[in-house]
């Protein structure tokens, strides 16, 4: 764990979540790949997120930032190949955030 922390170089940030929307991709045979989004939902809560050093995001405390919470509900769940795991994000238990992907820019 100490080695994973030292090698990763990311940070945990507490952020005030003001609004959110869900961006999803259709999976049926006739509409697979179509991306759609829910309406914006007002939220007012502080949440902790993990920002990886591999995908830096500007998270200064004096400005609003749009973040993308990385969540692949179709991704496989499997045990790590080694212990402790080398994939740091799998063991910290926080939502990983990244810049908004280009494919989702239209939903900002």
> Which of these, 46, 47, 68, 71, lies nearest to 57 by C-alpha position?
68
Give the pLDDT confidence score for residue 3 in this predicted structure.
Answer: 66
* Residue tagged 């955030």 (tokens): 97
Q: Which residues of the chain have pLDDT under 50?
A: none
Q: What is the dihedral of CA 25, 45, 12, 82, to 10 degrees?
A: -50
* pLDDT per residue as tens digits for the range 56-71: 666 666 667 777 777 7
Give the pLDDT confidence score for residue 43 in this predicted structure.
Answer: 92
Domain ranges, ordered by start, for the chain? 2-107
């Amino acid at each position: 764990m100490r080695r994973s922390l030292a090698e990763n170089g990311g940070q945990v940030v507490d952020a005030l979540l003001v609004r959110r929307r869900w961006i999803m991709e259709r999976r049926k045979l006739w509409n697979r790949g179509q991306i759609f989004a829910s309406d914006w939902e007002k939220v007012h809560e502080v949440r902790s997120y993990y920002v990886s050093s591999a995908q830096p995001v500007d998270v200064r405390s004096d400005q609003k930032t749009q973040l993308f919470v990385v969540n692949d509900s179709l991704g496989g769940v499997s045990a790590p190949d080694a212990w402790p795991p080398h994939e740091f994000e799998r063991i910290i238990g926080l939502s990983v955030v990244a810049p908004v992907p280009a494919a989702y820019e239209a939903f900002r």
